[in-house]
Structure 1
């Protein structure tokens, strides 16, 4: 498909995604299907490397059969082996193989055994774990085939007409003894194109119904853990009202963090599964609306049956996801409250520590002042003593100096000089310490 537009001799450069967007509208087209026909449909879980290996296996099969293999960008592909058609489709997390077989109009529904008809599946390795196996029989409607109940489990039977009554389709959603879910389509006046479209939508309904329900086991698996976390949160919140010490608050915060980690691990592991279940359920509801079901007799339609059986499972997944989200918010609020209490308690301890440090500093200052005074007195005593020896020596040498009087005059001078010197030295050291701190 060309994405370019040519006007005269000018080519308009397309957006790099224009071709992909235009092609997506026509992806997975309906194939005309003559009546009668037998369709065997398989869906396999192919997440990650399995999808790449499956594509390689299909490419090798095409090469062996002399058929042009799918391109790396192809998401759907169709090949024919004699009178048997094989349709391959690759989706985000699963891959489908659909075998299209002609059928004998006089053959009873679902005969012969589907296992004897699925030989094309033996030509490629199994792509991954099997999710869906459907045996669909498209037959011309005849009076003797209206009693579809004899082909299905009556309590689970769902039957409906399409919007204009040109087809009747039925299933019980139960696997038969060989593991296939049976679907019977009675063609009243469909034509090949509409028959192909209806059959593909019915196959998609059963496929997406199965995929949508994959979230239910995950929800059931997570429910005990969520219940335990809810009880733990209630107990911690109750204990939070009774404790006030920093050690208790730290212990509660550790326990709360462990609960939050367990919850987030479960939520992260189920995020994709629950989101996919919602998306697949939307696809199922869309397909049912497109078909436009009408009741047949007193039997439930597919829509009413799935609303009764499938909708509760989807609501369980949604409710579990909402419980996770609500519980996560509650845990966050409780953790924030505990962190606030811990921070306040730590600030109070820091304040008390600063008060204690201030008291010790004041005591050290008083002691330093006392020691400084004693130091001045002691140094003055020695200096005055030395000065006394000096003046006595000068007096003996004949100098006209009175030793006692000169010593008495020198005492205050020496004391002041020493006090000033000690104070200056202390101020100089304090200034250097301030510079180092800066």
Structure 2
């Protein structure tokens, strides 16, 4: 018996669930993370250039290559373990090494991803993160002292996560070396894979936060352009019931504004959609940390609520404003088209009435011409009949005047009856 055939994508869809495994990190450890974004739309990205850039660092260390067309890869580069992932708009490089430097967040730790190699990346650096992973201090006072020494207290976010498995902290500021810094203090008994998941979540929070903030920059540009269009649209809508400008001219100007609004919607729709998706990922990644407050310090969730959520609301506001203006322009265009149609109907009605009047005048003129034509035809008919009947009238001793007087009514009635019969037959 032949087995039932598999769907051609069955294994591919299952493998996608396991495509990006979390790293397993022994404590202490250092993580260096870089996200690179090409300055083009996602659909125009050169993924071949991204893969070539990965192969360049692998070849430096004689490491094996990924499979053709791969979107993720893990392998050694020297004493570090490299993890590479290709996403829709960006690529990420994570390098994990055992141990930590004597100086917290030493810029030399980032040299595992060489500067000259990064300079050849097919894009620009979106985010760069140093994560220091070390055992939990003996006391909470020592923990907080280290955090106050390492981070800016005003911006510091710290919390106990994953049911007390670790304490994570960061101030979301870029240090003089160009890196953002996070600290992970691991409680005794926490396994390497759980540590790896926590570190991966921090990298994802920072990456998707940075990607979603691109929407804020674009929304500010959009707001400026909407501010220029809004007064024009408002003036046109306010003048819908006035005689000036003419409806045709107002409709043309309104269609110009509508076309520009549609163009803006096309330009910004991808970024706004991506921003909403990235915001959802940031929120979800923070939720899975299951934060618990430490000594009244703000958590990652509270930090995002104060600093990040307003930015996302600004993006949503700009998107809603663009949509509302496009809908308002469409409604105004419909009203203007209705007004134009009504005025054209009135013009057509007046034109038909004028045509009716001209047709009535033409009919009256036709009747007048018909009367004149009867007279003219009768005149010639009487002349012809008199020539025909003169011999007979002379024989009967009837004078010419009497003959003409007798012929006129007969001929006129005959011609009138003939013209009327022809007219009736035509109509």
Mapped partners of 1:71, 1:330: distance in 2: 50
The 3 A distance-change label for structure 1 pair 298 and 418 is same
Would the aligned equivalents of 2:132 and 2:183 in 1 still touch at CA under 8 Å? yes
When normalised by structure 2's length, the TM-score is 0.87
Q: Is structure 2 residue 174 aligned with structure 1 residue 175?
A: yes
Would the aligned equivalents of 1:83 and 1:101 in 2 still touch at CA under 8 Å? yes
Please report how far the alpha carbon of residue 375 of structure 1 lies from its aligned counterpart in structure 2 after TM superposition: 1.6
Mapped partners of 2:79, 2:420: distance in 1: 113
Correspondence for 2:211: 211
Give the unaligned 5+ runs of structure 1. 1-8, 432-438
Would the aligned equivalents of 2:53 and 2:122 in 1 still touch at CA under 8 Å? no
Would the aligned equivalents of 1:115 and 1:178 in 2 still touch at CA under 8 Å? no
Correspondence for 1:20: 12
Q: Write the mapping of 1:414-429 to structure 2, written as runs, cut at 5 A.
A: 414-419=411-416, 422=419
* Structure 1 SS opposite 2:177: coil
The 3 A distance-change label for structure 1 pair 212 and 329 is same
Cα offsets for 1:190-224 (capped at 9, x unmatched): 22111111111110010011111111112222223
Mapped partners of 1:165, 1:415: distance in 2: 124
Would the aligned equivalents of 2:50 and 2:91 in 1 still touch at CA under 8 Å? no
Find the partner of 1:85 among 69, 78, 81. 81
Number of matched pairs: 417
Would the aligned equivalents of 1:391 and 1:401 in 2 still touch at CA under 8 Å? no
Cα offsets for 1:21-62 (capped at 9, x unmatched): 322322311121222222221212242343423344157546
Q: Is structure 2 residue 89 aligned with structure 1 residue 97?
A: no
Would the aligned equivalents of 1:53 and 1:127 in 2 still touch at CA under 8 Å? no
Mapped partners of 1:39, 1:115: distance in 2: 9
Would the aligned equivalents of 1:384 and 1:410 in 2 still touch at CA under 8 Å? yes
Mapped partners of 1:106, 1:19: distance in 2: 43
Mapped partners of 1:289, 1:27: distance in 2: 22
Correspondence for 1:262: 260
Would the aligned equivalents of 1:51 and 1:95 in 2 still touch at CA under 8 Å? no
Q: Write the mapping of 1:295-306 to structure 2, written as runs, cut at 5 A.
A: 295-306=293-304
Mapped partners of 2:176, 2:249: distance in 1: 57
Would the aligned equivalents of 1:158 and 1:305 in 2 still touch at CA under 8 Å? yes
Mapped partners of 2:302, 2:102: distance in 1: 31
Please report how far the alpha carbon of residue 171 of structure 1 lies from its aligned counterpart in structure 2 after TM superposition: 1.1
Please report how far the alpha carbon of residue 112 of structure 1 lies from its aligned counterpart in structure 2 after TM superposition: 4.6
Compare 182-191 and 222-231 and name the one that shifted more. Answer: 222-231
Please report how far the alpha carbon of residue 229 of structure 1 lies from its aligned counterpart in structure 2 after TM superposition: 3.6
Correspondence for 1:436: none
* Structure 2 SS opposite 1:30: coil
Q: Is structure 2 residue 39 aligned with structure 1 residue 43?
A: no
When normalised by structure 1's length, the TM-score is 0.85
Find the partner of 1:136 among 109, 121, 131. 131
Mapped partners of 1:12, 1:85: distance in 2: 41
Cα offsets for 1:228-267 (capped at 9, x unmatched): 44433433333334x147x633333333333333333222
Mapped partners of 2:55, 2:162: distance in 1: 42
Please report how far the alpha carbon of residue 399 of structure 1 lies from its aligned counterpart in structure 2 after TM superposition: 9.0
Please report how far the alpha carbon of residue 10 of structure 1 lies from its aligned counterpart in structure 2 after TM superposition: 4.3
Correspondence for 1:223: 223
Please report how far the alpha carbon of residue 360 of structure 1 lies from its aligned counterpart in structure 2 after TM superposition: 0.6
* Structure 2 SS opposite 1:15: coil
Would the aligned equivalents of 1:263 and 1:328 in 2 still touch at CA under 8 Å? yes
Correspondence for 1:6: none
Mapped partners of 1:203, 1:115: distance in 2: 15
Mapped partners of 1:120, 1:244: distance in 2: 67
The 3 A distance-change label for structure 1 pair 324 and 200 is same
Correspondence for 1:369: 367
Mapped partners of 2:311, 2:256: distance in 1: 30
Compare 49-58 and 290-299 and name the one that shifted more. Answer: 49-58
Please report how far the alpha carbon of residue 87 of structure 1 lies from its aligned counterpart in structure 2 after TM superposition: 1.6
Would the aligned equivalents of 2:393 and 2:399 in 1 still touch at CA under 8 Å? yes
Cα offsets for 1:327-369 (capped at 9, x unmatched): 3333322222222222111111110111001101111111111
Correspondence for 1:350: 348
Correspondence for 1:327: 325
The 3 A distance-change label for structure 1 pair 124 and 34 is farther
Mapped partners of 1:421, 1:127: distance in 2: 99
Give the unaligned 5+ runs of structure 2. none
Mapped partners of 2:86, 2:24: distance in 1: 21
Mapped partners of 2:3, 2:322: distance in 1: 54
The 3 A distance-change label for structure 1 pair 129 and 412 is farther
Mapped partners of 2:226, 2:217: distance in 1: 14
Correspondence for 1:187: 186
Would the aligned equivalents of 1:36 and 1:102 in 2 still touch at CA under 8 Å? yes
Q: Is structure 2 residue 147 aligned with structure 1 residue 148?
A: yes
Compare 247-256 and 87-96 and name the one that shifted more. Answer: 247-256
* Structure 1 SS opposite 2:103: coil
Mapped partners of 1:67, 1:136: distance in 2: 26
The 3 A distance-change label for structure 1 pair 196 and 106 is same
RMSD of Structure 2 on Structure 1 (CA): 2.9
